[in-house]
Amino acid sequence: MEKPRLSFWQIWNMSFGFLGIQFGWSLQMNNMSAIYEYLGAKPDQLPFLWLAAPLTGLLVQPIIGNWSDNNWGRLGRRRPFFLAGAILSSIALIFMPLSGTVWMAAGLLWILDASINISMEPFRAFVADMLPNDQRPRGFAMQSFFIGIGTAAASLLLPFLLKRVLVHTGADSTHAIPAIVRVSFWIGAVAFFSAVLWTIVTTKEYPPDALEKARLKTAKRFDLGEIIEAVKAMPPTMKQLAVVQFLTWLGLFCMFLYFSVAVAHNVFGANPGEPAYTEGIIWAGYCSGAYSVVCFLFSPFLPGLAKKLGKRGTHALCLLAGAVGLISVTIIHNQWLLFLPMIGVGMAWASILSMPYSILSSALPKNKMGIYMGIFNFFIVLPEIVSAFLFGWVMAHLLGNDRMKALVVGGACFILAAILTYRVREVVVAESDVIAEPVPVAKTA
């Protein structure tokens, strides 16, 4: 079936749910290291405590991708998973800031990550389901746009407003976790559910054709053998992108794990329990909001830039901008100057959230879109697993627990990923194909 071209507002509606998903992710990324430190964790323990995120992604995303590929019900193919994930994520967001111990917070992180992945994974396949190939860069760029807005709202606007409403920004006498963090998570629960519900209500999925209906009648909702077979049969383009993704996200996790606490310790010169430490965490959230503003401002220009430089060239350029941003943070000691590196980080973030998926979706057969998008997530979560098991040792023995040096490692990973982007071969699989039979495309496609 030839897919119709969608209008700007149709693409807007189908992508709007990502605003809520990213609101939840941003609260987690900006606050979990600090929550662990509020509850008594040490710097070299943080990577291990973050292990919930990659393991749940590794398990949940391919299962949900395979299940959604083989699903059709009253809500459609992908939307039932949007709804289930939004409900579970909202519940986890409510309880997370009420944690009384490190291990309670770690357990809730497992639940939160699994729930967010249930909503998020089908959203990637949703773009490929709904849009013709030439509109997919615009669809994924729109997701980046909403991811940028969601991050900015959670990281910049929300703490800015709450700081003026709530009296206490340090640890309360009744709870180790500050009130501003607790209220932020509760607002995030409402934002997550509301945004995802908007997409569910406003966007209808295309019903399966006769051939697809026949396949769905005999297809298993979850087939481990099919997942294993899909891993073995990954298209060459996906294998090449996998290396780029691995290095990119290894760099990102260095930033996610240590940027906020680096700002609190190295720029604000404070330790957990001191008012200045919380001020530093909040300021790091402002910086995250700043690169997210750059992300959503820059995202609309990505499709045009990809036409001129190619998707690979665009992605490599943005990764290099991000590397410069991360490395330059280490020589800044003025809190206001921290906003300058966020320009490069924001450009990289916009491309990371769109270009690899645009390249990948063009190279995948239509009936494997969900499962391969889930498998592609392996190369986001595997670097985090590596970080969880090894980076604590690196921090303690090689970097002297200097959180800023972790950002330099992140920048170096970005540079290597940018170089390897040029190994990726862009191809297009016809809409009618159910197995990958790629046709090379021009560099400027």
* Cα 66 to Cα 68: distance, rounded to the nearest angstrom: 6
Q: 98 pLDDT exceeds 90? A: no
pLDDT at site 125: 82
pLDDT in tens, 221-256: 677 777 888 888 888 999 999 999 999 999 998 888
Average pLDDT value over all residues in the chain: 82
Decide if 159 contacts 286 (C-beta within 8 A): yes
Give the pLDDT of residue 160. 66
- Predicted confidence band at 76 (pLDDT cuts at 50, 70, 90)? confident
pLDDT of residue 103: 85
Contact 71, 125 (CB under 8 A): no
pLDDT of residue 174: 53
Band (pLDDT 50/70/90 cuts) for residue 347 is very high
- At 24 the pLDDT is 87
Q: Which pLDDT score, from 0 to 100, does residue 50 have?
A: 73
Q: Which residue has better confidence, 245 or 137?
A: 245
CA 110 to chain centre: 16
Tokens of 127: 């773009």
**Fold of the CATH domain 8-204+227-440:** Growth Hormone; Chain: A; (1.20.1250)
Q: Please name which of 240, 383, 251 lies closest in space to residue 311, comparing C-alpha atoms.
A: 240
Looking at residue 434, its pLDDT comes to 45
Alpha carbon distance 185, 208 (integer Å): 38
Q: What's the average model confidence in pLDDT over 337-350?
A: 92
The amino acid present at 240, given as its one-letter code, is Q
Helix (H, G, I), strand (E, B) or coil at 281: helix
Q: Is the pLDDT of residue 91 over 50?
A: yes
Q: DSSP character for 76?
A: B
| pLDDT given for residue 224 in this prediction | 75
Summarize pLDDT for 278-308 with one digit per residue, the tens: 788 888 878 877 887 888 889 889 888 988 8
d(CA 172, CA 175): 5
Confidence of residue 415 (pLDDT cuts 50, 70, 90): very high
Average pLDDT of the residues in 334-354: 91
Q: Given a cut of 60, is residue 376 above it in pLDDT? A: yes
